[in-house]
């Protein structure tokens, strides 16, 4: 991955985290990693735990950011969520998988779209 793409991804994750915190969610983990992969953000929403995938794109030439999350990514995120829950003492009422799409604009504010319970 190029330095520019890595910087764009980090920018998107910072904006997504700020947006979610502004919505009242509490960050439990950022960029949580294990041998099977990474979860961008893990948050608490009341008594629920939210596993959040952040997708940042400069445009929609290759589809929207949310469309970049295919069946294999969904399966991997579900496995990672189960592993995180096994390794922590957190016992949520519900588990939810959200997607935050970040779309920087050539002019004006970056667009941040939050899809709750995306899958």
Q: What per-residue confidence (pLDDT) applies to 37? A: 96
pLDDT confidence band for 5 (50 / 70 / 90): confident
pLDDT, average across residues 71-88: 96
Q: What CATH code is carried by the domain that includes residue 49?
A: 3.40.1350.10
Q: With 0-12 CB in 10 A as exposed, 13-18 as middle and 19+ as buried, what is 28?
A: middle
Q: What per-residue confidence (pLDDT) applies to 61? A: 74
How many structural domains comprise the chain?
Answer: 1
pLDDT at 65 over 80: no
Q: State the residue range of the domain holding 99.
A: 3-115
H/E/C letters for each residue in the chain? CCHHHHHHHHHHHHHHHHHHHHCCCEEEEEEEEECCEEEEEEEEECCEEEEEEEEECCCCCCCCCHHHCCHHHHHHHHHHHHHHHHHCCCCCCCEEEEEEEEECCCCCCCEEEEECCCC
- Which range has the worst mean pLDDT, 36-40, 73-77, 78-82, 102-106? 102-106
Taking the CA atoms of the chain, what radius of gyration do you get in angstroms?
A: 14
For residues 56 and 65, the answer to whether their CB atoms sit within 8 Å is yes
For the record, the structure tokens of 9 come out as 């991804």
pLDDT per residue over 8-54, tens digit each?
Answer: 999 999 999 999 999 999 999 999 999 999 999 999 999 999 999 99
């Amino acid at each position: 991955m190029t330095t520019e793409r890595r910087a764009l991804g980090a920018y998107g994750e910072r904006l997504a985290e700020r947006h979610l915190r502004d919505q009242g969610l509490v960050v439990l983990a950022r960029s949580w990693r294990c041998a099977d992969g990474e979860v961008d953000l893990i948050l608490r929403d009341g008594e629920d735990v939210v596993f959040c995938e952040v997708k940042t794109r400069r445009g929609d030439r290759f589809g929207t950011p949310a469309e970049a999350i295919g069946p294999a990514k969904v399966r991997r995120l579900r496995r990672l969520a189960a592993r995180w829950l096994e390794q922590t003492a957190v016992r949520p009422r519900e588990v939810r998988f959200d997607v935050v799409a970040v779309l920087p604009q050539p002019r004006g504010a970056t667009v941040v779209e939050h899809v709750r319970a995306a899958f």
